[in-house]
Amino acid sequence: MAVATERARRPDSFSQAVKESVAARDLCPFCPGHEAMTPPEVLAYRAPGMPANGEGWWIRVVPNLYAAFRPEPDGQEQRAGRFWQRDAIGACEVLISSPDHRAPTSTLPRRQVEEMVQAYVDRYRHHAQNAWVEHVLILYNHGRPAGASLEHPHSQLYAIGLEAPAFADELDGARGFYRANAACVFCRTLEDERRAATRIVFENEAFVVFAPYAARTPFETWIMPRRHTASFGDLDPSREKPAFAEALQLTLRALQEGLNDPPFNYFIHSAPAKADVADAYHWHLELIPKLSTAAGFELGTGMWINVVKPEDSAAFLRERIQKVAEPA
């Protein structure tokens, strides 16, 4: 378990009336003009000739000040009796989606969503090649109940030196399926889902959006590349990048407009950098809206009571996407 006392001191821009107010924007470390409020950037897309850590960017990535993980590879151990503690090792970054304080991904220009995806790829590749990095996780929290502590839309990246437990189960399952069937379980799932069609939300030339058969929560939605690829870092820039941006944005827009802008989390699951799972694993994005509070039953048993059938949530989102999709 990672213990992170720093996180208790995160700033809170959601409290009471300051939300959406000018005051909140004045204090926002992610708004243009406030670059000095963050640690120096590790990546920014800005016009040529513009100085680093100034204005003029459209994507900016900075180390997370309130990180749960620290990049020192020799995490210090502390012992006190039978208690043992080691600082969590890793890098933690914030990827600011756009200079606009109030523009969620669903409303950004499509080109800007593609730039956000490009930043994901750039930082993913940067960390995945690092010798001590086992796992690179990119995630997005929307809304206070989903854990977003700052209003300005941003994603987070964690590069950690261990395999995340929730992810290890999925990886083990994929390995087991591959051993038994010499096939990728995710490719097989895509085939089955496309044949059944009832849980498909959206498809374009490179991605399929669907409600998984064993959805844990109402409106849980997955976005998966059609091409078998284990690592998100291998996203094809000309074909897959625009298609991924389209699938992600339309799904988020359908969610926002169809379900009254619910809080949500999404995260990208990608093969661990050092694992030999190129044939068995298949990267994907999992989107989990927060429409109900996980009750004691779910937390205690690990079993999920799903009040909306995945076929019904897929039909609802499918219809919504047809309404919100603009002609390209």
Interface residues toward Zn ion, by CB under 5 A: 28, 30-31, 101, 152, 170, 184, 186-187, 228, 269, 282
Please say which residue, 63 or 212, places its beta carbon nearer to Zn ion: 212
Please say which residue, 193 or 320, places its beta carbon nearer to Zn ion: 193
Beta-carbon contacts of residue 269 (< 8 Å; ≥ 6 apart): 137, 167, 170, 283, 284, 285, 286
Task: Tell me how far apart the alpha carbons of residues 270 and 145 are, in angstroms, rounded to a whole number.
Answer: 25
Beta-carbon contacts of residue 309 (< 8 Å; ≥ 6 apart): none
How far, in whole angstroms, is CA 42 from its chain's centroid? 19
Find the shortest distance in angstroms from Cβ 290 to Zn ion: 18
Find the shortest distance in angstroms from Cβ 188 to Zn ion: 8
Find the shortest distance in angstroms from Cβ 75 to Zn ion: 27
Find the shortest distance in angstroms from Cβ 234 to Zn ion: 12
Find the shortest distance in angstroms from Cβ 292 to Zn ion: 21
How far, in whole angstroms, is CA 112 from its chain's centroid? 16
Angle between helix 165-181 and 185-196 (nearest 10): 80
Helix, strand, coil distribution of the chain in percent, nearest 5: 35, 20, 45
281 contacts 310 by C-beta, under 8 angstroms = no
Please say which residue, 36 or 328, places its beta carbon nearer to Zn ion: 36
